[in-house]
Chains A and B, each alone.
Chain A
Amino acid sequence: QQQVKQSPQSLIVQKGGISIINCAYENTAFDYFPWYQQFPGKGPALLIAIRPDVSEKKEGRFTISFNKSAKQFSLHIMDSQPGDSATYFCAASKTGFQKLVFGTGTRLLVSP
């Protein structure tokens, strides 16, 4: 019940296209859903996060869509750029508990 399932495992998108990464969770007690971006040799960096009281959050080219009834959330990267090429992790946690449960990651390659 603690799993977060992430898909796809890898994604190739042309420059200017939309990248979409999906995650599904099981534990309905989760109430914090961040996305992390990780470049090779670096630690994960918080990209954007959402709580279940809203269905969408947008920050620049990055948007999280959240569907509480389906227990799914997704990351959309608009106008994808080669510099966005990285591994993206979704995660989930519940208030009062300390650990982030991570998805398995999506390796995104944005071709020029």
Chain B
Amino acid sequence: DSGVTQTPKHLITATGQRVTLRCSPRSGDLSVYWYQQSLDQGLQFLIQYYNGEERAKGNILERFSAQQFPDLHSELNLSSLELGDSALYFCASSRQGSNTEAFFGQGTRLTVV
């Protein structure tokens, strides 16, 4: 158990809908990262938050957004969902702003039908 908690584990939704994925980092970790894992794209970095503020942005679509709350949990919001958004979404956390020793949660499997 990495100590990173993601909910829900599975999510099935229709095209055009909006969903929210939740991540609770390891105790004491200030950084949260979101990654998308799909069969054709592999593991892709989406976005990182550090102590409530956006720190880095990767290949995140404009339809996607994230935030980190004062209690350090993070949410990834996906809207206007398309079939191609079906993937595993992982959250990872680390102690400092650096991404060394990032610990991953078990992921949320999103299926868009």
Q: Which of B52-100 contact A (CB under 8 A)?
A: 55-56, 58, 90, 92, 97-100
Interfacial chain B residues near A43, Cβ < 8 Å = 2, 4, 90, 92, 104-107
Docked-complex contact A46 and B102, CB < 8 angstroms: yes
Docked-complex contact B106 and A32, CB < 8 angstroms: no
User: Please, which residue of chain A has its CB at the minimum distance from the CB of B88?
Assistant: A43
Contact of B33 among A34, A45, A99 (CB under 8 A): A99
Contact of B99 among A44, A93, A104, A105 (CB under 8 A): A93
CA distance A75 to B38 in the complex (A): 23
Count of B interface residues, CB-CB < 8 Å: 26
Count of A interface residues, CB-CB < 8 Å: 23
Number of A-B contacts defined by CB within 8 Å = 64
CA distance A68 to B80 in the complex (A): 44
A102 at the binding interface (Cβ < 8 Å): yes
Docked-complex contact B42 and A105, CB < 8 angstroms: yes
B14 at the binding interface (Cβ < 8 Å): no
Interfacial chain B residues near A96, Cβ < 8 Å = 98
Interfacial chain B residues near A45, Cβ < 8 Å = 2, 103-104
Docked-complex contact B4 and A98, CB < 8 angstroms: no
Contacts A99-B48, A100-B45 given; indicate if A44 touches B90 (C-beta within 8 A).
yes
Contacts A98-B48, A98-B56 given; indicate if A44 touches B100 (C-beta within 8 A).
no
CA distance A45 to B97 in the complex (A): 19
Apart from A43-B105, A44-B104, A105-B42: 6 A-B pairs, beta carbons within 8 A? A42-B106, A43-B4, A45-B2, A98-B31, A99-B33, A101-B45
* Residues on A facing B (Cβ under 8 Å): 32, 34, 36, 41-46, 49, 89, 93, 95-105
